[in-house]
Amino acid sequence: MCGIVGFVSSGPVIDGLIQGLKKVEYRGYDSAGVAIIEQGIIKRHRAVGPLAALMTELPPFQGTVGIGHTRWATHGRAEEKNAHPHCGKGTAVVHNGIIENFQALKKDLSFQGIQFESDTDTEVIAHLFATSEHLTNLQERVLFVLKQLKGNFAIAVLLQDCTDCIIVARKGLSPLAVGQGKEGFYVGSDLSSLSGSAQKVAFLEDETWGVLYKDQAIFYDWTGQEKHLNFYPNPLQAQETEKGDFQHFMLKEIYQQADLVRIQGLPALPAEVCQASFFTALGCGTAFYAAWVGKFFLERLAKRFLNLELASEFHYRNPILPDGVSIVVSQSGETADTLKATLYAKSQQQYVLGMINAPHSSISRQVDYLMPTGAGTEIGVASTKAFTMQVLSFLNLSLALCSDAPLRQTVLDSLKEIPSVLKDIIQRSHEFAQIAAVLSQYQSILYLGRGLHYALALEGALKMSELSYIHAQGFAAGELKHGPLALIDPQHPVVVLAPWDESFSKTLSNLHEVKARNGPIFLITDTKGAASLEGLKPEGLFMYPSLQEPLLQVFPNAICVQLLAYYTALHKGLSIDQPRNLSKSVTVE
């Protein structure tokens, strides 16, 4: 979602701000802006559209204190008047999150004669700072404003009365990171914005605010007591946030999987996890589908029950949870729904295990035991390597809990085959480009799979719809004749994930049912499956080498559905790393 950046230095900050904004672009946005203190006056520049639009006609700012923002519309359309920073008299504010009482505050401020120019909730913050100018003590002034704001928010503020600093504050779910570099202090909505610039970083805790100067930063709690923040070396290297020779981050991240999926050594689990017989997995979107695969692993290999829950639904129904372990799955570690679900699980005395890719994220800081998924920085909005590494983490967890030593050894042996199988698929990417050219002509695609492959069918359909804007929906192959078969005709192709396994022949029967209704079939299978098609002639076929252990077919299947979605979007000329309307880090519910 929206991205915040800020920089206070001894030299001009505009280049640093723009670099920071480029690094938060991946979060998804529809407008952007900067505000800078120029010779004691706040100057602002905003534009709708990509950063390139902001850069055209960007004034030659020379100021040494500034803030910037990429906005993903929530309150008010994507128009320049709604783009951040928002200004009041002598103030400018960038904001992530939602000010829940903004209507009431707006009414009060309007009574005082203040004119609003935007439809946003953020603008009230700027005017509250403006109306607090009578408070000459900075602490009193900031607390006067913060205490009036309800909701979750992260903000960075410029004050014309305080020309050498940026005020930062965080309440609730919206994260905010501060960085210290050779050239000054930075603020950003995540670590990406600080990569390559800050050597040391710290996250603002809930209900914390601070003042950043070029050579020091002071932090306070909501009562005004000074508090210490732990800075640690910035874990993010600049090259991780660069595309290198790849056309898109997504392609780079798909390719990286061949090196990532390998035996890592099983985790040394805490007693609470080893002894638990009831697990609940919580996640949204792709993370939820990874947990779905995890259910198979945990039940087959560790013989433990796993209850799957969509984090976005979970806490609203106040579910009853038997004693056990909740596994929260998240790439960003900032997803508001997943954070809420985590807090609910904790409130129910669950032991919380976090499978998180961003180890310093808000959710990581809440869990009892962290299993970092180790995918590295993922920039493409559509999750690829993060999914695969979540799946690998479930595999590692399940193997660590598996008491059947020969079974564990078979799986570990088969895991050694994965890197070369994934490399083989990647080398044959052009085959997906050919299938994608055909698929891109359709308005709607069904994805089918059985068992473990059903989870991948759901993930494949999600990837296809978010990237290509083609309606795509996943079904369990066995459900076909319970309804979706009515959709099948020459205009409704099916993408089928069916490598050879114990359910292959059943899926094959389903495919014959599709064929009998002239539905085009695009089959992803392995060599054994392709050799057992019994006369079925799919319109498109991709086949990868057969694996020793069918449970691990999830890895090649994952790369196949990712490449299919990637090439379909490429064929349609769409924005691959930032699909429309979507955001990498979903920090609002």
Give the footprint of ligand F6R on this chain (CB under 6 A): 284-287, 330-332, 335, 338, 382-383, 462, 466, 586
Side-chain half-sphere exposure of 533, counting CA atoms within 13 A: 22
329, 281 Cβ separation under 8 angstroms: yes
Side-chain half-sphere exposure of 378, counting CA atoms within 13 A: 31
Q: How far is the CB of 335 from ligand F6R (least distance, A)?
A: 3
Q: How far is the CB of 286 from ligand F6R (least distance, A)?
A: 3
For residues 197 and 335, which CB has a smaller minimum distance to ligand F6R in the complex? 335
For residues 342 and 440, which CB has a smaller minimum distance to ligand F6R in the complex? 342
Q: How far is Cα 361 from Cα 328, in angstroms, rounded to an integer?
A: 13
For residues 142 and 563, which CB has a smaller minimum distance to ligand F6R in the complex? 563
Q: How far is Cα 301 from Cα 577, in angstroms, rounded to an integer?
A: 36
Q: How far is the CB of 553 from ligand F6R (least distance, A)?
A: 20
Instruction: From 321, 318, 331, 328, select the one nearest 352 (Cα to Cα).
Output: 328
- 584 catalytically annotated: yes
Q: How far is the CB of 329 from ligand F6R (least distance, A)?
A: 7
For residues 257 and 525, which CB has a smaller minimum distance to ligand F6R in the complex? 257
477, 429 Cβ separation under 8 angstroms: no
CB atoms inside a 10 Å sphere around CB 101: 14
Task: Please tell me which residue in 23, 171, 214, 584 is annotated as part of the active site.
Answer: 584
Task: Please tell me which residue in 2, 87, 162, 284 is annotated as part of the active site.
Answer: 2
Helices 554-571/249-260 angle, 10° precision? 170
Q: How far is the CB of 532 from ligand F6R (least distance, A)?
A: 32
For residues 192 and 525, which CB has a smaller minimum distance to ligand F6R in the complex? 192
Q: How far is the CB of 295 from ligand F6R (least distance, A)?
A: 17
Backbone angles phi, psi at 93, to 5 degrees: -135, 135
Reading the block at residue 279, the tokens are 């697990």
311-316 contact pairs (CB < 8 A, 24+): 311/282, 311/283, 311/284, 311/335, 311/337, 311/338, 311/340, 311/341, 312/284, 312/337, 312/589, 314/282, 314/340, 314/341, 314/344, 315/340, 315/341, 315/343, 315/344
For residues 301 and 381, which CB has a smaller minimum distance to ligand F6R in the complex? 381
* CA-to-CA separations, 313 to 285, 288, 318, 339, 487, in angstroms, rounded: 12, 12, 10, 12, 29
DSSP 361: S
Q: How far is the CB of 328 from ligand F6R (least distance, A)?
A: 9
Q: How far is Cα 491 from Cα 434, in angstroms, rounded to an integer?
A: 18
Q: Which residues pair with 5 in a beta bridge?
A: 68, 188
DSSP 237: -
Q: How far is the CB of 74 from ligand F6R (least distance, A)?
A: 16
- In the complex, which residue's CB is closest to ligand F6R? 285
506, 449 Cβ separation under 8 angstroms: no
For residues 142 and 464, which CB has a smaller minimum distance to ligand F6R in the complex? 464
For residues 118 and 312, which CB has a smaller minimum distance to ligand F6R in the complex? 312
Continuous segment of H or E residues that includes residue 308: strand 305-310
Q: Which residues are catalytic?
A: 2, 584
